[in-house]
């Protein structure tokens, strides 16, 4: 019945006779896991290499071709307690990784050049006040030029090309004053060296490049990491399709391997991953994801099926017309693309400032030059002073101020199980004063669980679980999961709308609706005590048992909500669920403001109303009906299990069974915003102090180098403080 | 001061060597998994066979 995933799509050749496979592994979170996985998989004969990447939570395997079935690795990992899925890096991720690598390379070149130039600069600085011969100084300056000019030409290219692009588009960005500053500093230094002058700014110029590149690299690396993580999420969701490889033979393949013209099988309970038309079969389908129509439609041969369609009653054979663009991965990719576009507000602020900044800086430099000329300085001295102003105002610290905090904060959030979708999420989350929770799937765990497991004999539970494996009904799936069943029973058939049945040891067994199993009485009793539960009955011969299946509240929900209260946030619950259920949950969790039976429109209305009163709302929800509310709120979060679309609109996604990430998100964001502000002020103060000194003509290369590295270090160290209260709970 | 004739090229050579080492480590993937590398340093080389 269960067909395993076809791995051939993911296998790569790794040299002669070797195969390579990348797996995204769920549950790697410590060094112990890493050692355990590597040790156990290396023990498999013919495996030549098993290496875990703890940063990206992936496993790279290499083995001799033809000897080992890749499914063995997944099974072995499952035995160790890790879920693993084959995975193929999306092209976007590879691109980001390449960009980060290139920046690191340039950063390395600039940093090494800066270090070596310093070695030459320090003797010059000290020699200028003691007994260095002018010839020796010139010699050192020429050597500096020899190191710096090629290094700068290579490593400053990102700034040059970005400035050039901006100028061509008749605009100005931060890279324009940077490029002008670098080029002028280098040109002057070269000229000064040629005329045997005392000062050259080679060291300051290359150091500037190195610090700016550090800021860019941090920014890029954060993006790369988010991408890698999104790739894992998509792999873990294991979007597969069942494809016919001949008329009656099927195989489970990744959606990525499906091409138009393929025939796929959609079984009851499955969501289609492709667009196509029905070839044969008949089923009720739920198109609510696509059309919003909640009433099921009937699909017959010729009907169109879209990605996202839920097949309810019968199996369908579908001819694929378009391989899906709506897969989770493409959705997340699109999202991140947006996130990159909608840069953080503070970054935008910096960009807006740069539009002011460039003319301001250039005007100041020009005025300085004119001023000195009027006072009677020589043209040469005036120009040198003006260039010192340009160098000292280059926004080193400003360029690092925001990316450094964002990197540290998102790293801390990542550690707490929060993945940011959008660039400015940190700032917006820091501003919220009110949190609205959805109930189902957010405060409660998204997966159903058997509530009365204790009252059912273990052997019955096991048997029921194995029967349940053959059904795709969500309630049956919950029974199978709760029983920990892994081996489906042979010969189990499904009766549409009733349940699954079969024969074991000559006795008929049934798992399904209580009336069908003759267990109405017991079921009604359970429903009376617990009206929210779903019931499923199990009948073996004459013995009958009823399982109460319901959603559990997240284990730490009450603690988190009281912590949110303590942080000064008002917590509210809006749920589409019935009133008794919502009241019970609110009581358990200590939420005083709640409303039940709220429609999506009402949720938006409530958020708008709060916004009109000046409140900033953080909406935490999942489920399709929350998507508009998530989009309408000031900031939003979704559990990672949420329907694709609500994840797509949420600013952040959180992982795991706990609600604690919500608290961490707000706490870390608040701290990060404070640090960003501090950093911006630090940069402003630096400029206020340094610019007058430069205008006065007192900036020597030594002062320029110290001021620049000093302010950059200060900003970096300050950013590191974002880490302090964001450690995993 | 003639010593500079040796010392300066020597210093620059050492700097270039450092850069070359950095480029090698970058190409070699030494920066791909910084979190994992931190822990690898303290794990045992040879696995204990009994329990894991």
Determine contact, residues A351/A342, Cβ cutoff 8 Å. no
ipTM at complex level: 0.79
Which pLDDT does position B51 carry in this prediction? 43
Instruction: Please name every residue paired with A319 in a beta bridge, in sequence order, or none if there are none.
Output: A263, A277
Give the model confidence (pLDDT) of A446-462 as tens digits.
Answer: 677 787 877 888 888 88
Determine contact, residues A201/A394, Cβ cutoff 8 Å. no
Q: What percent of chain A has pLDDT over 90?
A: 7
Class of domain A240-326: mainly beta
Provide mean pLDDT across the span A535-541.
84
The answer to whether residue A345 scores a pLDDT higher than 70 is no
Looking at CA atoms only, how far is residue A411 from chain B in angstroms? 12
For residue A475, which of A521, A273, A467, A543 has the smallest C-alpha distance?
Answer: A467
Q: Cβ–Cβ of B1/A112 closer than 8 Å?
A: no
For residue A54, which of A74, A75, A32, A73 has the smallest C-alpha distance?
Answer: A32
Q: Please indicate, yes or no, if residue B18 is contained in any of the structural domains.
A: yes
The answer to whether residue A40 scores a pLDDT higher than 60 is yes
Indicate if A438 belongs to the active site: yes
| Residue A541 backbone zone (phi > 0: left; psi -120 to 50: alpha; other: beta) | left
Q: Which of B8, B26, B44 sits opposite A143 (nearest CB)?
A: B8
Which pLDDT does position A571 carry in this prediction? 92
**B18 close contact with A: CB closer than 8 A:** yes
Task: Look at strands A250-254 and A283-286 and give their pairing.
Answer: unpaired
Mark A91-108 as b/e (b = at least 16 C-beta within 10 Å): ebbeebbebbbebbbbbb
Q: Cβ–Cβ of A55/B40 closer than 8 Å?
A: no
- In degrees and rounded to multiples of 5, residue A573 shows phi and psi of -125, 125
Task: Look at strands A543-553 and A444-450 and give their pairing.
Answer: antiparallel
A447-552 is classed CATH 3.30.950.10: no
**A109 close contact with B: CB closer than 8 A:** yes
- Show the tokens assigned to A1: 């019945």
The answer to whether residue A2 scores a pLDDT higher than 50 is no
CB < 8 Å to B19, chain A = 108-109, 112
Q: Pick the residue with more confidence: A31 or A21?
A: A21
Neighbours of A375 (CB within 10 A): 9
Give the model confidence (pLDDT) of A180-212 as tens digits.
Answer: 888 988 998 898 899 888 888 888 889 888 888
Interface probe with A: pick from B5, B11, B13, B15, most Cβ of A within 10 Å: B15
In chain A, residues 114-133 whose CB comes closer than 8 Å to chain B: 115-116, 119, 133
Which contacts (CB < 8 Å, 24+ apart) does range B10-14 have? B11/A116, B11/A119, B12/A116, B12/A143, B12/A147
Q: How confident is the model at residue A364 (pLDDT cuts 50, 70, 90)?
A: confident
| CATH fold label, A410-445+554-671 | Rossmann fold (3.40.50)
Provide mean pLDDT across the span A338-367.
66
A59 contacts: CB under 8 Å, gap ≥ 6: A22, A23, A25, A28, A37, A41, A50, A51, A52, A53, A77, A84
C-alpha to C-alpha distances, A27 to A175, A350, A480, A503, nearest whole angstrom: 42, 39, 21, 38
Give the model confidence (pLDDT) of A612-654 as tens digits.
Answer: 898 989 999 876 567 677 777 888 888 876 555 556 667 888 8
> Which residue intervals of A202-344 are DSSP H helices?
202-236, 288-291, 328-341
Which pLDDT does position A646 carry in this prediction? 58
Interface probe with B: pick from A108, A229, A723, most Cβ of B within 10 Å: A108
Q: Cβ–Cβ of A56/B33 closer than 8 Å?
A: yes
Interface probe with A: pick from B29, B47, B48, B51, most Cβ of A within 10 Å: B47
Instruction: Please name every residue paired with A543 in a beta bridge, in sequence order, or none if there are none.
Output: A540
Q: Which residue of B has its CA nearest to A53?
A: B33
Mark A474-512 as b/e (b = at least 16 C-beta within 10 Å): ebbbbbbbbbebeebbeebebeeeebbbbebeeeebbbb
Domain boundaries, chain A: 1-88, 95-227+338-406+672-723, 240-326, 410-445+554-671, 447-552
Q: Cβ–Cβ of B15/A119 closer than 8 Å?
A: yes
The C-alpha atoms of residue A381 and residue A379 are separated, in whole angstroms, by 6
Q: Which domain holds residue B25?
A: 4-38
A440 DSSP 8-state letter: I
| CATH fold label, A1-88 | Alpha-Beta Plaits (3.30.70)
CB < 8 Å to A139, chain B = 4
For residue A141, which of A186, A93, A75, A80 has the smallest C-alpha distance?
Answer: A186
**B52 close contact with A: CB closer than 8 A:** yes
For residue A423, which of A313, A494, A306, A344 has the smallest C-alpha distance?
Answer: A344
Q: Cβ–Cβ of B12/A147 closer than 8 Å?
A: yes
Give the model confidence (pLDDT) of A115-124 as tens digits.
Answer: 888 888 888 8
> Which residue intervals of A309-378 are DSSP H helices?
328-341, 345-375
Overall pTM > 0.80: no
Which pLDDT does position A325 carry in this prediction? 54
Q: Which residue of B has its CA nearest to A32?
A: B43
**A5 close contact with B: CB closer than 8 A:** no
Q: Which residue of A has its CA nearest to B22?
A: A108
Determine contact, residues A201/A73, Cβ cutoff 8 Å. no
CB < 8 Å to A108, chain B = 19, 22-23, 26
- Residue whose pair of structure tokens reads 């100041």 in the numeric block: A364
The C-alpha atoms of residue A270 and residue A471 are separated, in whole angstroms, by 11
**A39 close contact with B: CB closer than 8 A:** yes
**B42 close contact with A: CB closer than 8 A:** yes
Residues in chain A: 729
Provide mean pLDDT across the span A228-248.
70
**B36 close contact with A: CB closer than 8 A:** yes
**B12 close contact with A: CB closer than 8 A:** yes
Q: Please indicate, yes or no, if residue B34 is contained in any of the structural domains.
A: yes
Q: Please indicate, yes or no, if residue B21 is contained in any of the structural domains.
A: yes
Give the model confidence (pLDDT) of A378-411 as tens digits.
Answer: 888 888 888 888 877 776 677 777 778 887 887 7
Torsion sign across C-alpha atoms A177, A179, A180, A186: positive
pLDDT, chain A, mean = 79
**A36 close contact with B: CB closer than 8 A:** yes
CB < 8 Å to A136, chain B = 1, 4
Provide mean pLDDT across the span A122-135.
77
Q: Please indicate, yes or no, if residue B46 is contained in any of the structural domains.
A: no
Q: How confident is the model at residue A727 (pLDDT cuts 50, 70, 90)?
A: very low
Q: Cβ–Cβ of A112/B22 closer than 8 Å?
A: yes
A15 contacts: CB under 8 Å, gap ≥ 6: none
Q: Which residue of B has its CA nearest to A146?
A: B12
Q: Which residue of B has its CA nearest to A120?
A: B8
For residue A475, which of A550, A576, A554 has the smallest C-alpha distance?
Answer: A550
Neighbours of A242 (CB within 10 A): 17
Q: Cβ–Cβ of A39/B19 closer than 8 Å?
A: no
The answer to whether residue A145 scores a pLDDT higher than 90 is yes
Provide mean pLDDT across the span A677-686.
84
- In degrees and rounded to multiples of 5, residue A70 shows phi and psi of -55, -30
Looking at CA atoms only, how far is residue A153 from chain B in angstroms? 16
- Show the tokens assigned to A482: 């709760």
Looking at CA atoms only, how far is residue A397 from chain B in angstroms? 25
Domain count along chain B? 1
CB < 8 Å to A143, chain B = 8, 12
Half-sphere exposure of A434 (CA within 13 A, CB side): 20
Give the model confidence (pLDDT) of A293-341 as tens digits.
Answer: 556 678 888 888 877 677 777 778 888 877 655 555 555 555 555 544 5
Residue of A219, A438, A622, A651 marked catalytic: A438
For residue A21, which of A54, A63, A67 has the smallest C-alpha distance?
Answer: A63
- Show the tokens assigned to A66: 């033809």
Which pLDDT does position A349 carry in this prediction? 58
For residue A180, which of A347, A367, A362, A351 has the smallest C-alpha distance?
Answer: A362
CB < 8 Å to B4, chain A = 136, 139
Determine contact, residues A641/A446, Cβ cutoff 8 Å. yes
| Angle formed by the axes of helices A701-720 and A202-236, nearest 10° | 20
Looking at CA atoms only, how far is residue A309 from chain B in angstroms? 39
CB < 8 Å to B40, chain A = 31, 34
What kind and span of H or E run contains A117? helix A91-129
The C-alpha atoms of residue A371 and residue A381 are separated, in whole angstroms, by 11
Q: Is A128 exposed, middle or buried (0-12, 13-18, 19+ CB in 10 A)?
A: middle
- Residue whose pair of structure tokens reads 């040109």 in the numeric block: A187
């Amino acid at each position: 019945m269960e067909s395993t995933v076809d791995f051939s799509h993911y296998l790569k050749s790794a040299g002669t006779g070797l195969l390579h496979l990348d797996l995204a592994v769920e549950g790697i979170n410590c060094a112990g896991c890493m050692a355990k996985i590597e040790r156990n998989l290396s023990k498999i004969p013919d495996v030549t290499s098993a290496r875990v990447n703890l940063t990206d939570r992936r496993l790279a395997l290499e083995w001799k071709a033809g000897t080992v079935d890749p499914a063995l690795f997944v099974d072995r990992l499952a035995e160790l307690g890790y879920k693993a899925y084959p995975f193929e890096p999306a092209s976007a991720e590879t691109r980001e990784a390449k960009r980060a690598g290139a920046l690191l390379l340039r950063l390395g070149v600039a940093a090494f050049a800066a270090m070596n130039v310093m070695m030459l600069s320090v003797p010059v600085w000290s020699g200028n006040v003691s007994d260095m011969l002018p010839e020796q100084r010139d010699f050192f300056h020429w050597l500096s030029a020899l190191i710096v000019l090629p290094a700068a030409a290579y490593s400053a290219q990102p700034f040059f090309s970005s400035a050039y692009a901006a100028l061509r588009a008749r605009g100005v960005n931060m890279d324009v004053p940077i490029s002008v500053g670098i080029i002028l500093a280098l040109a002057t230094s070269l000229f000064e060296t040629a005329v045997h002058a005392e000062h050259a700014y080679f060291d300051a110029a290359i150091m500037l490049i190195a610090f700016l590149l550090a800021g860019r690299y941090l920014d890029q690396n954060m993006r790369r990491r988010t991408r890698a993580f999104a790739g894992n999420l998509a792999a873990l969701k294991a979007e597969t399709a069942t494809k016919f490889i001949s008329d009656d033979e099927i195989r489970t393949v990744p959606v990525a391997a499906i091409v138009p013209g393929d025939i796929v099988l959609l079984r009851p309970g499955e969501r289609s991953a492709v667009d196509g038309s029905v070839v044969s079969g008949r089923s009720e389908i739920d198109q609510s994801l696509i059309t919003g129509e909640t009433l099921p439609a009937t699909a017959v041969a010729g009907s169109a099926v879209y990605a996202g369609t839920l097949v309810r009653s019968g199996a369908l054979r579908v001819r694929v017309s378009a391989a899906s663009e709506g897969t989770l991965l493409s959705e997340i990719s699109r999202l991140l693309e947006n996130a990159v576009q909608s840069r953080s507000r503070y970054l935008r602020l910096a960009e807006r400032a740069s539009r002011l900044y460039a003319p301001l800086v250039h005007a100041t430099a020009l005025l300085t030059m004119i001023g000195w000329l009027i006072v009677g300085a020589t043209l040469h001295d005036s120009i040198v002073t003006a260039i010192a102003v340009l160098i000292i105002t280059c926004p080193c610290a400003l360029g690092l101020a925001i990316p450094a905090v964002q990197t540290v904060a998102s790293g801390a959030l990542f550690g707490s199980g929060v993945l940011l979708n959008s660039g400015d999420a940190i700032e917006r989350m820091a501003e919220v004063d009110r949190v609205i929770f959805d109930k189902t799937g957010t405060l409660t765990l998204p997966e159903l669980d058997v509530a009365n497991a204790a009252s059912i004999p273990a052997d019955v539970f096991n048997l029921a679980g194995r029967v349940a494996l053959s059904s795709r009904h969500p309630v049956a799936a919950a029974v199978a999961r709760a029983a920990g069943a892994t081996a489906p029973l042979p010969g189990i058939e499904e009766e549409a709308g009733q349940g699954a049945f079969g024969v074991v040891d000559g006795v008929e067994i049934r798992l399904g609706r209580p009336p069908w199993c003759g267990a109405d009485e017991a079921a009604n009793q359970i429903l009376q005590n617990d009206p929210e539960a779903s019931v499923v009955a199990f009948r073996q011969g004459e013995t009958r048992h009823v399982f109460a299946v319901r959603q559990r509240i997240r284990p730490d929900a009450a603690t988190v909500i009281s912590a949110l209260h303590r942080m000064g946030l008002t917590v509210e619950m809006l749920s589409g669920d019935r009133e008794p259920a919502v009241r019970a949950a609110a009581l358990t969790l200590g939420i005083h403001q709640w409303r039940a039976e709220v429609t999506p429109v009402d949720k938006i209305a409530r958020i708008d109303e709060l916004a009109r009163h000046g409140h900033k709302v953080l909406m935490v929800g999942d489920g399709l009906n929350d998507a508009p509310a998530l989009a309408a709120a000031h900031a939003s979060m979704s559990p990672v299990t949420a329907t694709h679309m609500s994840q797509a609109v949420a600013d952040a996604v959180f992982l795991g069974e706990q609600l604690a990430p919500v608290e961490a998100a707000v706490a870390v964001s608040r701290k990060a915003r404070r640090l960003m502000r501090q950093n911006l002020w630090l940069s402003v103060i630096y400029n206020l102090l340094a610019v007058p000194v430069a205008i006065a003509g007192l900036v020597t290369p030594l002062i320029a180098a110290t001021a620049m590295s000093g302010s950059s270090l200060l900003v970096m160290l300050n950013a590191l403080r974002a880490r302090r209260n964001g450690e995993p709970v | 001061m003639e010593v500079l004739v040796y010392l300066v090229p020597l210093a620059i050579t050492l700097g270039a060597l450092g850069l070359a080492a950095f480029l090698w480590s970058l190409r070699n993937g030494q920066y791909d998994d910084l979190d994992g590398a931190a822990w690898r340093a303290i794990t045992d080389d040879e696995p204990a066979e009994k329990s894991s």
